[in-house]
């Protein structure tokens, strides 16, 4: 059957030699994923089980970046977001509902405070800011409505170092989860999960890959399943290689 040139644009029969491998992960762009047949498409929002369904939900580029970040941080899964602020929002919105209480250190990254004051409170979440050096005394602020406790160590600008294990122990006693902005350690100089943290986040804009100023990106790593998906970040996988030189 003779194919028209219009058909050839969509359904090509050309091929290229296989076996090429580059140090840099290829950049996969595009929203549409090709399947051999309609029945092969299945989407249960569990991308690690069903594979690729739609570009926004992950490509080999973003999935490798997420996997490598999880490996570095010792997490179960990692999710890539469009920026550090969106990573903070992802965690808050995933865990908090109207009527819940969240504890946030006073030394937190200022846009995170803005997120609490202007968004979370509008959604009915009670935001309590605590002294970053409170340690185990944070127990006095915990109630049965406390769902999430944030740490950021060292704190933005003022650089307070928190007693993360003591805070995590107190939070877990009332069933609260502990989240940590671990940007300063690049996820490698402080093992958040070994110190009781449930979910860790980084502004990759500042450290991994995007530190070159290419674009903005954020990341969330969890030692439990957190249902969320990422953003296309093609430049960062290759840029992970020199991270050790940049952060030392």
- Of 86, 25, 109, which is closest to residue 231 (Cα–Cα)? 86
Structural domain of 102: 44-247
Could you tell me if residue 235 is inside a domain? yes
- How many domains, in total, are found in the chain? 1
Please check whether residue 194 is in contact with residue 143, taking contact to mean a CB–CB distance below 8 angstroms: no
Could you tell me if residue 29 is inside a domain? no
Could you tell me if residue 80 is inside a domain? yes
Instruction: Decide: helix, strand or coil at residue 86.
Output: helix
Provide the CATH number for the domain around residue 203: 3.40.640.10
pLDDT in tens, the chain (248 residues): 788 988 888 888 888 898 888 888 888 887 788 888 888 877 776 777 777 888 777 888 888 888 888 898 999 888 888 888 999 999 999 999 999 999 999 999 999 999 999 999 999 999 999 999 999 999 999 999 999 999 999 998 899 999 999 999 999 999 999 999 999 888 889 999 999 999 999 988 776 555 455 566 888 988 764 433 333 333 344 444 444 554 55
- What is the pTM assigned to this prediction? 0.82
């Amino acid at each position: 059957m003779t194919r028209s040139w219009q058909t050839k644009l969509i359904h090509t029969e050309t091929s290229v030699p296989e076996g090429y491998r580059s140090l840099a992960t290829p950049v996969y762009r595009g929203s549409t994923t090709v399947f051999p047949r309609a029945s092969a498409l299945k989407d249960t929002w569990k991308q690690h089980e069903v594979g690729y369904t739609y570009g926004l939900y992950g490509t080999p580029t973003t999935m490798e970046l997420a996997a490598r970040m999880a490996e570095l941080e010792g997490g179960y899964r990692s999710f890539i977001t469009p920026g550090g602020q969106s990573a903070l929002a992802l965690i808050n919105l995933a865990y908090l509902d109207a009527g819940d209480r969240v504890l946030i250190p006073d030394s937190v990254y200022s846009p995170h405070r803005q997120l609490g004051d202007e968004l979370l409170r509008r959604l009915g979440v009670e935001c309590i800011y605590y002294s970053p050096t409170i340690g185990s005394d944070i127990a006095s602020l915990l109630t049965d409505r406390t769902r999430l406790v944030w740490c950021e160590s060292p704190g933005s600008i003022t650089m307070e170092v928190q007693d993360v294990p003591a805070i995590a122990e107190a939070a877990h006693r009332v069933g609260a989860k502990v989240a940590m902005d671990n940007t300063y350690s690049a996820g490698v100089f402080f093992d958040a999960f070994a110190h009781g943290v449930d979910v860790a986040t980084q502004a990759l804009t500042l450290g991994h890959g995007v530190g070159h100023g290419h674009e903005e990106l954020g990341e969330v790593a969890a030692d439990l399943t957190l249902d969320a998906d990422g953003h296309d970040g093609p430049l960062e996988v290759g840029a992970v290689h020199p991270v050790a030189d940049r952060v030392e």
